[in-house]
């Protein structure tokens, strides 16, 4: 059966779910099916992103949306070096999907992300719609805090928070951060929930 392609406006998690259903009955492990769907998403979105990068700045920012993120907090913005630091996951707080993640699970996720990142072409995306490559944005820091950290201006992260720092190399993306249109990070992944 041919794989589906993303529908206009469809979010990545919606597409992956639909793509997984299209593979029902196929004799493949679940993780292989997820990998196939993610590669299909990346391939199509890479083409769309490359086309979007050819547009003018305002149109580009409109395509990326209004800065929806999970954390909505940039802890550090270094304008000279085009660097941003933000929380990826915060322990024991309800996220936008209504989930609560423990410090232990956050550490596992952070470590697995880095291990998996070496095997992929893209390690990040923009608004869960467009993959971006290392020429545009690069992960330069990733760590789980072992103590609370006060960044000033009321920005305090608790112990067990996963932080990521990014060097923003693409001028249009940097402009969108400086203008406050992109304000934080949103993790994407597939996991299993356990009843409390």
pLDDT tens, position by position, 161-194: 999 888 988 888 888 788 777 766 666 555 566 6
Count how many domains the chain has: 2
pLDDT value of residue 147: 94
pLDDT value of residue 52: 57
Most confident of the following: 5-14, 56-65, 72-81, 83-92: 83-92
- What's the burial of 86, exposed, middle or buried (CB within 10 Å: 0-12/13-18/19+)? buried
pLDDT value of residue 70: 35
pLDDT band with cut points at 50, 70 and 90 for residue 103 = very high
Does residue 169 contact residue 135 with C-beta atoms inside 8 Å?
Answer: yes
194: in domain? no
- Spatial CB neighbours of 104, under 8 Å, sequence gap ≥ 6: none
Return the number of other C-beta atoms located less than 10 Å from residue 128's C-beta: 18
Do both 41 and 88 map to the same domain?
Answer: no
Question: Rg of the chain over CA atoms, in angstroms?
Answer: 17
Do both 145 and 104 map to the same domain?
Answer: yes
193: in domain? no
Most confident of the following: 47-51, 95-99, 167-171: 167-171
pTM beyond 0.75, yes or no: no
Do both 127 and 148 map to the same domain?
Answer: yes
Q: Between 30 and 160, where is the model more confident?
A: 160
For residue 102, pLDDT beyond 60: yes
For residue 68, pLDDT beyond 70: no
Do both 102 and 125 map to the same domain?
Answer: yes
pLDDT value of residue 143: 93
pLDDT value of residue 160: 94
186: in domain? no
Q: Which domain covers residue 43, as residue numbers? A: 12-52
Do both 107 and 139 map to the same domain?
Answer: yes
Do both 45 and 92 map to the same domain?
Answer: no
Q: In the structure encoding, which two tokens stand for residue 114, read together?
A: 């880095």
pLDDT value of residue 65: 41
Do both 43 and 107 map to the same domain?
Answer: no
152: in domain? yes
136: in domain? yes
């Amino acid at each position: 059966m041919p794989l589906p392609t993303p529908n206009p406006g469809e979010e990545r998690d919606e597409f992956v779910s639909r793509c997984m259903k299209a593979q029902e009955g196929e004799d493949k492990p679940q993780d292989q099916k997820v990998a196939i769907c993610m590669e299909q998403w990346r391939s199509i979105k890479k083409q769309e992103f490359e086309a979007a990068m050819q547009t003018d700045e305002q149109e580009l920012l409109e395509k990326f949306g209004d800065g929806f993120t999970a954390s909505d907090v940039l802890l550090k913005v270094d304008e000279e070096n085009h660097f941003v630091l933000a929380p990826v996951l915060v322990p024991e707080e309800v996220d936008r999907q209504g989930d609560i993640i423990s410090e232990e699970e956050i550490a596992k996720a952070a470590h697995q992300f880095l291990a998996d990142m070496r095997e992929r072409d893209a390690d990040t995306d923009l608004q869960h719609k467009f993959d971006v490559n290392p020429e545009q944005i690069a992960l330069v820091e990733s760590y789980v805090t072992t103590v609370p950290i006060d960044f000033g201006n009321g920005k305090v992260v608790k112990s067990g928070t996963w932080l990521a720092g990014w060097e923003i190399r693409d001028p249009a993306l940097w402009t969108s951060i400086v203008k406050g249109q992109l304000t934080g990070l949103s993790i994407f992944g597939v996991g299993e929930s356990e009843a409390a």
